[in-house]
Structure 1
Amino acid sequence: MYRYDIHDQTLVDERVAQFRDQMERYRAGRLSDAEFLPLRLQNGLYIQRHAPMLRIAIPYGMLAGHQLRALAEITRRYDRGYGHFTTRQNLQLNWPKMEDVPDILADLAKVQMHAIQTSGNCIRNTTSDQFAGIAKDEVEDPRPWCELIRQWSTLHPEFAYLPRKFKIAVSGATTDRAAIQVHDIGLRLWHNEDGELRVRVLAGGGLGRTPMIGDVVREDLPWQHLLTYLEACVRVYNQFGRRDNKFKARIKILVKALGIEEYRRRVEEEWVYLKDGPQTLNQAAVDAAKAHFPEPDRRAVSSDAIQAFETLRQENRAFARFVTNNVTDHKVPGYKAVTLSLKRREHAPGDVTADQMDAVADLADRYSFSEIRVTHEQNLVLSDVPVDEIESLWQALEDLGMANPTIGTLNDIICCPGGDYCALANAVSIPIAQSLQQRFEDLDFLYDLGPLDLNISGCMNACGHHHVGHIGILGVDKKGEEYYQVSLGGNATDDASLGKILGPSFFKEDVPDVIDKVLQVYIEQRTDEERFLDTYRRIGLKPFKERVYA
């Protein structure tokens, strides 16, 4: 993974010193709340319902074991002994004291981490595929390109005060696992018939109050022009995006208002001044970035070991369930990627205790070259596990409570912190997730349903990505009362779609029954080959609506 050079470390250290001074001036009354607001936001510091919240950047979702141990120690020293992994592959601390934040940032800097641009109207942390570099269907490793974007976008002077926040996602596989169609800018790496790397650029996607699917701006951008073209895209947004209404300030509103053809024309017009300029990439720059992501020194795994793994899978039902749901094929024979479930009823989805972080770091050291990935589904991944060690890893995960064989099922719920923490939320999210996990905990039933994404957000900001859940749940406020709106048919992968609202919202207590009725319609109507999304797209919203509101 990427290691800081002297320039990175100097930048982060100086940023810590700068924010420490800003914090001291704010606490002394020499900076007003309004003056301090953009300063703290661009260092990841929010003021939430009960306490400050600090969002820590995990660039493109990659952590080293020593970094995860540092996060564990930070949660013990400055928080309540746990952290929350988000859908954007970051980590949030929900209870730090404001005056401690400069010390937290200083501790992060010691392990090459930071909270720069994890909030504010700037280019946020670039996200990618949690299986980048090891996926069997990958055509180009997106991690070096994410790193080049990180370097380009960090403290970019022209884009420090955009009309609104700006998010970029990069995918390099034939299957999109980075949700590029619902980002401000989505990038797809591909090869043309001559084997040359090209970039498909999408713009104007996003969730929140006005969800939209992005449109293609450029289909076949040569890789050399990635940064200059991105700069042109953001410049057009920075110049023409609305600043008079924050609810209409995202790039998706601009692209919709202009139309994709006019937005594309303006980008191309702006690009004339940037193309072939100093930010044009050359092979040496790309090679330097790729050098940070070498293939690990994997030992050979014998065919006998691979056969023994398959035999164990056939003979041990519990192990087979874990492998089927939590283990992903790897590009190297004899290796797998293993997903650690962070979905237990006694914890909020995505929450991990400090002790668990330490334990996962130890497991990463032992089984996966000290590397951990954070997923968009709020789980963790060990990316390089030999098949002859998966059984012992599974047993260790059982002891940690992270071996739930439910990845990709209804019980692998995505959920924002909601009203229990967030000042923006209309309703709680975590209790809804827990009630659904309790209602639908039978594994045989979950497996019979097949792959099913259920996402929960506590407000229209959609941090829980409810718009692209096969089943989405949104907390809404009705005259001070918490209600929940259900939508069906969303999807964040290649054939992306936005869910349609089922109808009037429901009391909290009714949500499990509503979801049960939705599932019963699916079970009754599906064919042998269909998954939930297939059935929904074939029969439409009406049968579900009739059953739920009968």
Structure 2
Amino acid sequence: MYRYDQYDHLIVRERIAQYRDQVRRRIADELTEAEFLPLRLQNGLYMQRHAYMLRIAVPYGLLASRQLRMLAHIARKYDRGYGHFTTRQNIQFNWIELEQTPDILTDLSSVEMHSIQTSGNCIRNITTDEFAGVAADEYLDPRPFCEILRQWSSFHPEFIALPRKFKIAINGAHEDRAATQVHDIGLTMVKNEAGEIGFRFLVGGGLGRTPIIGSVIREFLPWKHVLTYTEAVMRVYNQYGRRDNKYKARIKILLKSLGVEEFARQVEEEWADLKDGPETLTEEELARVAAYFTPPAYEQLENIDPLAAHADNKAFAKWLERNVKPHKVPGYASVVLSLKKTGVPPGDATAEQMDFVADMADQHSFGELRVTHEQNLVLADVKQSELFEVWTKIKAKGLATPNIGFLTDIISCPGGDFCSLANAKSIPIAAAIAERFDNLDFQYDIGDIELNISGCINACGHHHVGNIGVLGVDKDGSEWYQVSIGGAQGDNAAIGKIIGPSFSAVQMPEVIGRLLEVYVRDRTEDERFVDTVQRLGIAPFKDHVYATPIAAGELVGEDEYA
């Protein structure tokens, strides 16, 4: 994985020293909160309901075991013993004291980590497939391009004060596991008829207040032009994106107002002055960065059936089916560690669990691990012969719930328990739904289904693209929840449709139950929930949900996480 060079170390050291002085001046009241706000946001520090929240960058979701141990140390020393992994493959700490933040950043720098550009109107953390480099269906490893874009965008003087935040995702596999269609820029690696590698270039995707699927502005861009073409897009956005209204400031609004053809024309016009310029990538530069992502020392192994020696172990078999993914190297597999055990807020991991996972990475996965945008962790390079041992160990730590892709593999933001922007709590809703449907036999019968929860319209829980999406809304000062169905991420990304009036918190588990009843009643063989919704439309689901009143009851876990 990538290691800092002398420039990275210098930049981070100087940023920490600068920030330490800013904190000192804020504590001494030499800076007002209004003056300090943009300075702290440049370092990933937010003020939330109860305390400061620090968001730490995990570039393209890749962590070394030593870095995860440092995150465990921070959770233990500066927070309340846990961290929250996010849908942008980062980690957040929710109980941070301002005075300690410079020391946290210093600790992070010792393992080549930082919190730069995890907030603010800049290019945020660049994300990719959590199985990048090991996926069996991969065309080309996207991580070198992620790193090239990270280096290019960090402290870029032209794009450090954009009209609004900006998000980029890159996918290098046949299946889009990076959600490229709902990013400001979505890059999909493709081959043309001559066998040359390039990018299918999408612009203007995004969720939030105005959810939109991205539009293709170039079907094939040779890889060497990825920086210059991205810069052309950014220049058009930076010049014409709205700054008078933050709700209309994203690039998706600009693209929609101009139209795809006119936007693309302006990009091409801007690119004419950049094409073949000094930022054009060379074979040598790509090879230099790609050298950081060389494959580990795989052994020459044959594929085996891990279940053969444990044929009577049904629990192990279920885990293999849901949590173990194919690997491009014979004899190896990728293991997803579920952070969705019932009773635990989705995406949360304790310091003890982080230390444990770091040890597992050292023992079984060449000292590396991944963060998924579904808020789970991955050991990417596990020998098939060691899968039973791995399962036994992680089961003891609550990380082996065989629910990846199932109903209880819920994506959720922290919501109103922490976030000052939230209209409603997310965690208790996730807990109540997980408790209601905590039956693996039932989940296996229901099959693949994505349930996403956001506490506000900013959509940090990606509710728009959930097969079932739940959005917290304010209704006369009370917390209510709007439900949409039919959303999807990946190759066939779609925005869900709202089924009708919102529900109270205590009604939500029954609402989900009624939606599933329609699916079970009307599905065809091998049809997923989202397929049934897209075939039938929302009408039968809406009719059944609202047919009779839903009684109020007690919400599981309502006060547990406050």
Does TM-score exceed 0.5, indicating one fold?
yes
Structure 1 residue 35 displacement after superposition: 2.2
Instruction: Tell me how far apart the structure 2 counterparts of residues 258 and 549 of structure 1 sit (CA, whole Å).
Output: 40
Instruction: Tell me how far apart the structure 2 counterparts of residues 271 and 26 of structure 1 sit (CA, whole Å).
Output: 43
Structure 1 residue 313 displacement after superposition: 5.5
Residue aligned with 1:494, SS: helix
Q: Deviations over 1:45-91 (max 9, x none)?
A: 00001100000000000000000001101111111111000010000
Say if 2:302 and 2:330, in contact at 8 Å, map to a contact too: no
Gaps of at least 5 residues in structure 2 are: 548-562
Which residue in 2 is equivalent to 1:514? 511
Structure 1 residue 259 displacement after superposition: 0.6
Find out whether 1:382 has 2:379 as its counterpart.
Answer: yes
Instruction: Tell me how far apart the structure 2 counterparts of residues 529 and 548 of structure 1 sit (CA, whole Å).
Output: 24
Equivalent runs, 1:369-408 vs 2, <5 Å: 369-408=366-405
Residue aligned with 2:201, SS: strand
**Stretches (4+) displaced over 4 A:** none
Instruction: Tell me how far apart the structure 2 counterparts of residues 126 and 73 of structure 1 sit (CA, whole Å).
Output: 25
Which residue in 2 is equivalent to 1:89? 89
Say if 1:343 and 1:412, in contact at 8 Å, map to a contact too: yes
Which residue in 2 is equivalent to 1:538? 535
Tell me the C-alpha RMSD between the 2 structures: 0.9
Among residues 300, 304, 321, which one is paired with 1:324 in the alignment? 321
Which residue in 1 is equivalent to 2:553? none
Residue aligned with 2:481, SS: strand
Choose 137-146 or 25-34, whichever is displaced more.
25-34
TM-score of the two chains, using structure 2 as the length reference: 0.96
Find out whether 1:349 has 2:339 as its counterpart.
Answer: no
Which residue in 1 is equivalent to 2:494? 497
Q: Deviations over 1:467-517 (max 9, x none)?
A: 000000001000100000100000111111000001000011100001000
Find out whether 1:299 has 2:299 as its counterpart.
Answer: yes
Instruction: Tell me how far apart the structure 2 counterparts of residues 442 and 247 of structure 1 sit (CA, whole Å).
Output: 41
Residue aligned with 1:80, SS: coil
Which residue in 2 is equivalent to 1:177? 177
Find out whether 1:135 has 2:135 as its counterpart.
Answer: yes
Instruction: Tell me how far apart the structure 2 counterparts of residues 388 and 459 of structure 1 sit (CA, whole Å).
Output: 45
Residue aligned with 2:491, SS: coil
Equivalent residue letter for 2:198: R
Which residue in 2 is equivalent to 1:60? 60
Find out whether 1:459 has 2:456 as its counterpart.
Answer: yes
Which residue in 2 is equivalent to 1:149? 149
Choose 339-348 or 473-482, whichever is displaced more.
339-348
Structure 1 residue 26 displacement after superposition: 2.1
Q: Deviations over 1:123-153 (max 9, x none)?
A: 0000000000000110010000000000000
Instruction: Tell me how far apart the structure 2 counterparts of residues 257 and 380 of structure 1 sit (CA, whole Å).
Output: 39
Say if 1:313 and 1:323, in contact at 8 Å, map to a contact too: no
Equivalent residue letter for 2:274: L
Instruction: Tell me how far apart the structure 1 counterparts of residues 87 and 204 of structure 2 sit (CA, whole Å).
Output: 19
Equivalent runs, 1:115-130 vs 2, <5 Å: 115-130=115-130
Find out whether 1:282 has 2:282 as its counterpart.
Answer: yes
Residue aligned with 1:13, SS: helix
Structure 1 residue 34 displacement after superposition: 2.3
Gaps of at least 5 residues in structure 1 are: none
TM-score of the two chains, using structure 1 as the length reference: 0.98
Which residue in 1 is equivalent to 2:165? 165
Instruction: Tell me how far apart the structure 1 counterparts of residues 530 and 33 of structure 2 sit (CA, whole Å).
Output: 47
Instruction: Tell me how far apart the structure 2 counterparts of residues 478 and 124 of structure 1 sit (CA, whole Å).
Output: 32
Which residue in 1 is equivalent to 2:421? 424
Find out whether 1:366 has 2:363 as its counterpart.
Answer: yes
Say if 1:469 and 1:489, in contact at 8 Å, map to a contact too: yes
Instruction: Tell me how far apart the structure 2 counterparts of residues 346 and 329 of structure 1 sit (CA, whole Å).
Output: 29
Structure 1 residue 302 displacement after superposition: 4.2
Which residue in 2 is equivalent to 1:488? 485
Instruction: Tell me how far apart the structure 2 counterparts of residues 255 and 112 of structure 1 sit (CA, whole Å).
Output: 37
Residue aligned with 1:206, SS: coil
Residue aligned with 1:385, SS: strand
Q: How many pairs were matched up?
A: 547
Say if 2:52 and 2:98, in contact at 8 Å, map to a contact too: yes
Say if 2:205 and 2:213, in contact at 8 Å, map to a contact too: yes
Say if 1:345 and 1:437, in contact at 8 Å, map to a contact too: yes
Which residue in 1 is equivalent to 2:35? 35
Residue aligned with 2:96, SS: coil
Instruction: Tell me how far apart the structure 1 counterparts of residues 430 and 26 of structure 2 sit (CA, whole Å).
Output: 38
Judging changes above 3 Å, is the alpha-carbon distance between structure 1 residues 16 and 439 closer, same or farther for their aligned structure 2 residues? same
Equivalent residue letter for 2:189: L
Q: Deviations over 1:157-181 (max 9, x none)?
A: 0111100000000000011000000
Say if 2:307 and 2:317, in contact at 8 Å, map to a contact too: no
Instruction: Tell me how far apart the structure 2 counterparts of residues 512 and 312 of structure 1 sit (CA, whole Å).
Output: 40
Which residue in 1 is equivalent to 2:247? 247
Residue aligned with 1:94, SS: strand
- Percent identity, please: 62
